[in-house]
Homo-oligomer: A and B are copies of this chain.
């Protein structure tokens, strides 16, 4: 999970999401393909689950050993092997040996700060994606890396943690509803990626709701804390963008390159997936435009309010300054001040002051400052 802290900002707290600044930094000079786990250990113990199915049979194995997994490799049925917890480098290495995975691919799987991408290797395809979760309490996005290995008869998914967005796929497999049981691992991989993209829509929906709330608040009652909130969402959108933009390329690559692992029947579904990822990006860009617009609106409305206050001061000061001066003049203690002796002097002074004040008001009115 991302490092987060609550930091006082004036009178309010904003959660700081450090995810954006995380960069992979494996030891300098390590040879390429060195297996090092980069990122936080999120799961306690790696757990391997296996779902093996074809059109007619369906079996689930929970928390099995690697040897049991390999046993499945012989069959022509589709095996979906899921590993939760990728910090156990030994285990990953073992996986690599049993399934002939190139060391560079293993390195990428272990590095949880990787950019979404698709690599074709001999005999398998590596797809790296980000699962996103929206933490309602902290209003932050959590990212979890998921790597899919698409092989001839299997899909292996590597997750950081148990708990994912694939329950729908598991249901469909079990219920044997729809196409999924009649198709190969390429369709399974598609179904998994589709689940991830669908979950992005959910996150966009939540962020969209927040933006609406923000706009309401900004219009009805703008205060200084909103600036930090705007800054916060801007960064969450930056993080979302970082995960989503490369996804589009990944899907487009799957759609265009004619890997022998992806059957032609699945192509039409990939096109649909591509449309969805474009839609996610479109919405994201509109959100970014909107939040920039909100910032502008905030700045302008703050400055408008400031101006109004300043105007009041200006007008009051401008009116009273000469009046106070007149009062000051007749408060002088000179012995010979003829006006002071006059019977109506006091009222004359009032008249003078009233005249001044009225003159100023008329002047301001004429200039439309009042």
Contact = CB atoms under 8 A, between A and B. Distances in A.
A49 interface: no
Interface string A314-340: 101110111111011111111111111
Contact of A324 (B28, B115, B178, B324): B324
Contact of A32 (B121, B272, B311): B272
A313 to B, nearest CB: 4
Nearest to A169: B29
A68 interface: no
Count copies of this chain in the complex: 5
Interface string A216-253: 10011000100110010011001000100000000000
Interface in A323-359: 323-325, 327-346, 349, 353
B313 A227 contact: no
B279 A24 contact: yes
A91 to B, nearest CB: 21
Given A312-B314, A325-B320, A340 B335 contact: yes
Given A7-B220, A301-B227, A275 B115 contact: yes
A304 interface: yes
Interface string A157-180: 000000001111101100001111
A235 B268 contact: no
B310 A227 contact: no
A302 interface: yes
A195 B289 CA distance: 30
A305 B320 CA distance: 22
A334 B324 contact: no
A208 interface: yes
A353 B330 CA distance: 14
A272 B302 CA distance: 48
A310 B306 contact: yes
A310 B310 contact: yes
